[in-house]
Amino acid sequence: MLRGARRIARISLLCGLIISLGIAMSMRRAEAANPYEVTGVPVDVTASDAATARDQAIVQGQRKAFTMLMEQLLGADKAASVAVPSDAALGNMVQDFEVESERLSSVRYIGTMTFRFDADSVNALIGRPSDNGVDVSGGAGAVGATPGTPEVVPTGPTQMLSVSVPIASLRDWVEIRRRLAGVPGVQRAEVRSLARAEGELNLVYVGDPTQLTQALAQRQLSLSQNAQQWILRLGGTGAQ
């Protein structure tokens, strides 16, 4: 009886070790598959309304995710010496993101997110060679007016236009918000909602829709209208 019990105990221990080893190997394989992915990023933001809170939570999340990524790639000691880039620069480094879980109230957003970063952009920042062994350099500057075109300075009454913004990733959303900040005549862009594939903004601007369209085009933003709504897209690269 005693020998049988010991044998069962040894078998159980062996099985436990095998299972633990399998889990550890699976985790290492998952990490190796994409070392530039950060999961379990917590966010908690209170703002004037739920849409603004969610918008700010994504920005907060990408900052936290970057810090976690540096620790993941470099270790805690070296990561502490890497300064967190600006929100616009971080937006360019993020390929996409997912919401793992979320809770919303009228003014608060609590969630957990996953962020996937562009390897070349991250490697360029920390001085690490790219996957193909070639050093990379990145970082997008501010988007100015399209060369060769005169600057449009809208005049007229202040109006508001609700627009739908298709996005393929968080990078598109952050880039659109960044470009809007430099559009002549656009006083502010109010966030109405934000989902994984689309956002909605209220553009408060000076002039008329034609002037607005021209001013946006100078910042490589495309404004068009279909039967239901106005649509704002990134011009050149971005969500199509």
Give the model confidence (pLDDT) of 58-99 as tens digits: 999 999 999 999 999 999 899 988 888 888 788 878 888 888
Q: In the sheet where 158-166 sits, what is the strand order?
A: 186-194, 198-206, 158-166, 230-234, 221-225
Half-sphere exposure of 140 (CA within 13 A, CB side): 18
Phi, psi of 70 (to 5 degrees): -60, -40
Q: Which CATH number fits domain 35-126: 3.20.20, 2.170.130, 3.10.28, 3.40.50?
A: 3.10.28
Position 131 scores a pLDDT of 54
pLDDT classification of 226: cutoffs 50, 70, 90: confident
CATH of domain 158-234: 3.30.70.60
pLDDT at 132 over 80: no
Q: Where are the domains of the chain?
A: 35-126, 158-234
> Who contacts 83 (Cβ-Cβ below 8 Å, separation ≥6)?
none
User: For residue 96, which of 167, 41, 7, 15 has the smallest C-alpha distance?
Assistant: 167
**pLDDT tens-digit map of 25-69:** 444 444 446 889 999 999 999 999 888 888 899 999 999 999 999
pTM of the model: 0.54
For the ranges 175-184, 209-218, 221-230, the lowest mean pLDDT is seen at: 175-184
Q: Which residue has the tokens 């070349």?
A: 120
